[in-house]
Homo-oligomer: A and B are copies of this chain.
Amino acid sequence: MRFTSEQRLEDGVLEREFTLGEIPGILWTSGSAPAPLILVGHPGGLRMMYPRLVARARHAVAEGFAAATIELPGAGGRPRSAVTEDARADLLRALEAGEPVGDGIVDRLVLPLVDKAVPEWRAALDALLPLPEIGGPVGYSGGVISIGIRLAVVEPRISAAVLFAGSFVPRAVFEEARQVTIPLQVLLQWDDEGNDRQQALDLFDALGSKEKTLHANMGGHTGVPSFEGDDANRFFARHLK
């Protein structure tokens, strides 16, 4: 891991950009005492997502956490994969034609992304956890739910997760969901245009964790109320501190 830039934001949060091999990432810390790390998930495109990511990260740092994120495979400036691009084109065609999005498209769109992204997030943990500003258990927050579920199953250093019940979940992920045992808080937007509410409820039901809470709010995909940021921090405070 190589730090490429460093700045203090106006509230004193230390923001450092880094690269992990070819993967760009951002780390936010208070710059002082070691703090439990929250991995800030997202749907890809760090530059585009930056305003929302930095808001979540600053909120987390203010509550005594460190926060970090990395770019997803095929997003931002990272090389595209032909399989994913084909699947994305098929998805757009199906949506524009008003046709149902078949399992085949969803599998081709999501599964290779999960297979590639999850080892990258784990490599980021390897690089981040030895830093003196970071200490204690790790949380994963938001982002592509299929990545969050795979991480929760395979990465024992992740102790709790806040997941966002988005759409296009491969059937195979429902099976993985049953193997999750860490505490979860799952966000669902009740009127999400591109989201199948029943599928989201079924996925919540499938998750194997004994402690899981669903927070469903009104409104569309980007309408998550700001108080859910506080709720996520309190959830992580219960489980990471």
Interface residues of A (CB under 8 A from B): 188, 190, 201, 204-205, 209-218, 225, 227, 230-231, 234, 238
Bound complex: CA A216 to CA B201 (Å): 10
Q: Which of B204, B211, B217, B227 is within 8 Å of A216, CB to CB?
A: B204
For residue A226, give the distance in angstroms from its CB to the closest CB of chain B.
Answer: 10
Q: Which residues of B contact A231 (CB under 8 A)?
A: 231
Q: How far is the CA of A215 from the CA of B204 in the complex (A)?
A: 12
CB distance from A202 to the nearest CB of B (A): 12
Across the interface, A215 reaches (CB within 8 A) one of B211, B214, B234, namely B214
Number of this chain's copies in the complex? 2
Shortest C-beta distance, A165 to chain B (Å), equals 12
Q: Which residues does chain B contribute within 8 Å of A204, judged by CB atoms?
A: 216
Residue of B nearest to A185 (CB): B215
- Nearest first, the 4 A-B pairs at minimum CB distance are A214-B216, A213-B217, A212-B218, A215-B215
Contacts of A188 in B (CB 8 A): 214
In the bound assembly, the distance between CA atoms of A230 and B231 in angstroms comes to: 10
- Roughly how many angstroms separate A160 CA and B225 CA in the complex, as a whole number? 17
- Return the chain B residue nearest A201 by Cβ: B201
List the B residue with the shortest CB-CB distance to A204.
B216
Question: Which residues of the other chain, B, contact A230 by a CB distance below 8 angstroms?
Answer: 234
Closest Cβ neighbor of A198 among chain B residues: B201
How many angstroms between the C-alpha atoms of A230 and B235 in the bound complex? 11
Task: With CB as the reference atom, state the residue of chain B lying closest to A217.
Answer: B213
State A216–B218 Cα separation when bound (angstroms): 15
A-B contact list, 9 entries, CB within 8 Å: A188-B214, A201-B201, A210-B218, A211-B218, A213-B216, A214-B216, A214-B217, A215-B215, A216-B216
CA distance A230 to B225 in the complex (A): 18
Q: Which chain B residue lies CB-closest to A186?
A: B216
Residues of B within 8 A of A234 (CB): 227, 230
Check B217–A215 contact: CB distance below 8 A. Answer: no
Contacts A190-B205, A231-B231, A238-B227: A213 and B212 contacting too (C-beta < 8 A)?
A: no
Contacts A213-B215, A227-B238 supplied; 4 other A-B pairs, CB < 8 Å: A211-B218, A212-B218, A213-B216, A215-B215
